[in-house]
Structure 1
Amino acid sequence: MSIELLSPAGDMERLRMAVTYGADAVYLAGSDFGMRAFAGNFTPDQLREAVAFCHARGVKVHVTCNTMPRNDEVSRLPAWLELIADAGVDAVIMADLGVFALAGKHAPGLKRHVSTQAGVTNYEVARAWHDLGADRVILARELSLEEVAELRAKTPRELEIEAFVHGAMCVSYSGRCLLSNYMTGRDAQRGACAQPCRYKYALMEEKRPGEYFPVYEENGETFIMNSRDMCMIDHIPELMEAGVDSLKIEGRAKSAYYAAVITSAYRHAVDAAQAGVPLSPVWRDEVEKVSHRHYSTGFWFGQPGQFTEDARYIRDYQVCAVVESCAPDGRAVCSLRNKFRTGDTLELIGPGLEPVSFQVPVMADADGFPLEEPRTPQMKFTLQLPHPAPALSLLRRQVSEP
């Protein structure tokens, strides 16, 4: 069974990483109507560039239009939908029924995908969307594997099923939360969530202002709404058996490094599952080497549970440099991201390459003079790698104990 790997692209750098590291499709937002207001997002010209880059490599582009627009925004939608259709986008992702209808009218060539924000949790609603013209439904993250399999079995086969397999999760049902809007004025349904579910809360009694009483879980933990991240890399064969057509990685607001490493890990997991062979532990380990919260399998196999001890990210690795070009002998021109020096131990990772550790030799600056430590952000320098590596390969180092 063929299955699509769908990766996030918050800006052009992250898009290039996702495509280079193995995505079959990417999803992104333009400058309006997307659910990640603080990702880089794409201007109209950048959107055309992104589509051209992806299509030249056989990768599809899905554009999010999944906010819940207000009256004063609706008049802008037809022009926006016509623009993304003219740019050559493959599909548009929507949660609002009015936007869905407008897309059918103003961008009839685009496939219409129903966002997870619409809360598709059963086969009847999936059928209803299909009857209205939907090409795909993106399932609510609250469904179990058995529910997804039943939904697939009871819906038309031409209706594609997309499901999240990796990334941040929301404490609210399918992301429909008012807490951010209430506390900060930033509307989660308009792409601006401040994630107040990650805050540490205390209880204050009305007649005792200024007295704060801690809110505890059973072992003294206080982060009662802090959701774990989802990680389903160990269960790709089960997802394929359930009939999922597209595996979605969350993370348009996350780094280019995240887009590269997580896409690469799931690329190998999908390829292994399709070949009927076990996933190498090398690629399973990669999902631990990006910034993440404590993992769970989401709702796929039962309740994920909250992580109540703290809301911090686990950040054990740091990108030091990006490979700009590399000669056949492994001599590479790199661009600095974070400081390191001769003698440090780094890992080289790249598209299709297993990570390899090496000790940094003496480098050379742009003029060919010996260089012990590149210091200026984005500066170019030359470094001998342990073997040749394609452009957009990365050098990273461990910054904490495993």
Structure 2
Amino acid sequence: MSFEKIPDRLPELLAPAGDMERLQAAVQFGADAVYLAGTQFGMRSAPSNFTPQQLADGVRFAHSHGVRIYLTCNIIPHNSDVEHLEPFLRMARDAGVDAFIVTDMGVMEMAQKVAPQVDIHISTQTGVTNYAAARRLYDLGAKRVVLARELSLEEVATLRAKTPKDLEIECFVHGAMCVSISGRCLLSNYFTGRDGNHGECAQPCRWKYALCEETRPGVYLPIDEDSNGSYILNAKDMNMSEHIPELLQAGVDSLKIEGRAKSAYYTAAATNAYRRALNDAIAGKPLTPWVKEELNKISHRQYSTGFYFGRPDESLTLGSYVRDYEVAAVCESYHNGVAVLSQRNRFFRGDTADVLEPGKAPYLVKMDHIENGDGEPIESANHAVMRVLLYTDTPIAPGALLRIRKQKD
């Protein structure tokens, strides 16, 4: 596939947030917009999400930094849900959200009725895979369609060319992928009774599986396993950081990072990396080398490019988790050669911290001299959120995350 130039309209970097800490991380590390959920009607119930007051506070915080807020309201609702939807939408409207992300046409119509000033984004759960569907949704009032993950770049470019120019196109660029069509899966319902299409997915596709022959109960035969087990339904994570120019030239308006159920560290690191990758693409520069490295420092399965370059083969699955780094501390302040840290995971005197700051290349700091909050030298920081004084000539910005590479067993 070949393209001539990047479009004039600058694209948006869209980051996930499962709570206020993750929202603040997304904003601090460069998101243009953040998508999140209230305590109802979102497709991720595992995170704490946002109460009405937290949602209002979160919107105010984001807007004060020039960042937009999109509220997921994208479950596949049943009759029992409908009567509760209208007051929920009114609450979100009053909180000041910029868009509703919806799957169901009834929810879309209700949102247009109670909150006509709030944009409508069509969720990936709707499964938009062609320009005819996108055009019809635009005619019904959609501002944006979040395309199904099952599209190739060629198909995205065709859809863009055959839809109205003011219909925005959003695509996933990073994160977990389901072994299903646009996330519509019934495995969780079958195994646990938890409805994945109501935001309660138990993620049974991530479980380990083995064969059991009926006359040999309790004898489990492995299925193409690695050292961590067998993952026949476990898709590799998507990583398109090296292909942002192709996405832009295909006409994508919003680059979406998956992960509302993941940690604030994941949100910070992924947003920071894609901010740089997007800035590089807009400027016509090669990808900054540390971007790829950064994305290997967050918890992830083996990476792939999903469906963007054609239908994946069996190599899309069998991906187990990679967790090589953990956050050791968060910097609270730095003054006269002393960084005040708040501990997150145990670290030791003599460790080397890999420091993540917004918009900067990661850098290393030796932790040769550490003291507790009373100024007493210590050999390790082993109490949760304890205050640690780190003596270093390297100024560390408040809010910076200090990471430690895990020791291999």
Bin of the TM-score, shorter chain as denominator length: over 0.9
Matches of 1:316 and 1:218, distance apart in 2: 20
Name the count of aligned residue pairs. Answer: 400
Matches of 2:317 and 2:140, distance apart in 1: 45
Tell me the residue number matched to 1:354. 361
Question: Is 1:4 matched up with 2:12?
Answer: yes
Question: Is 1:367 matched up with 2:348?
Answer: no
Matches of 1:344 and 1:218, distance apart in 2: 34
Shift in Å, 1:79 = 0.6
Matches of 1:109 and 1:290, distance apart in 2: 37
Tell me the residue number matched to 1:112. 120
2:405 to 387, 398, 401: 398
Instruction: Give the TM-score normalised by structure 1.
Output: 0.94
Cα pair distance change 1:318/1:76, threshold 3 Å: same
Tell me the residue number matched to 2:164. 156
In structure 2, give the amino acid aligned to 1:197. Answer: C
For residues 2-401 of structure 1, the aligned pairs below 5 Å read 2-204=10-212, 208=215, 210=217, 214=221, 216=223, 222-306=230-314, 312-327=320-335, 329-400=336-407
SS at match of 1:194: coil
Deviates more, 1:80-89 or 1:381-390: 381-390
Tell me the residue number matched to 2:4. none
Shift in Å, 1:356 = 1.4
Cα pair distance change 1:365/1:216, threshold 3 Å: closer
Matches of 2:113 and 2:40, distance apart in 1: 19
Cα pair distance change 1:118/1:365, threshold 3 Å: same
> Is contact 2:209-2:223 (8 Å) kept?
no
Shift in Å, 1:166 = 0.2
Matches of 1:340 and 1:182, distance apart in 2: 42
Matches of 1:78 and 1:13, distance apart in 2: 28
Matches of 2:92 and 2:281, distance apart in 1: 34
Q: Give the percent of matched residue pairs that are identical in Structure 1 and Structure 2.
A: 54
What are the ranges of 5 or more consecutive residues in structure 1 without an aligned counterpart? none
Cα pair distance change 1:119/1:310, threshold 3 Å: closer
Cα pair distance change 1:53/1:143, threshold 3 Å: same
In structure 1, give the amino acid aligned to 2:344. Answer: R
Deviates more, 1:88-97 or 1:379-388: 379-388
In structure 2, give the amino acid aligned to 1:193. Answer: C
In structure 1, give the amino acid aligned to 2:204. Answer: P
In structure 1, give the amino acid aligned to 2:37. Answer: A
SS at match of 1:113: strand
Shift in Å, 1:325 = 2.1
Matches of 2:394 and 2:373, distance apart in 1: 21
SS at match of 1:247: strand
In structure 2, give the amino acid aligned to 1:393. Answer: A
Deviates more, 1:332-341 or 1:132-141: 332-341
Cα pair distance change 1:215/1:321, threshold 3 Å: closer
What are the ranges of 5 or more consecutive residues in structure 2 without an aligned counterpart? 1-7
Shift in Å, 1:384 = 2.8
In structure 1, give the amino acid aligned to 2:324. Answer: D
Matches of 2:199 and 2:224, distance apart in 1: 30
Instruction: Give the TM-score normalised by structure 2.
Output: 0.93
Shift in Å, 1:400 = 4.0
Root-mean-square deviation (Å): 2.1
Shift in Å, 1:203 = 4.2
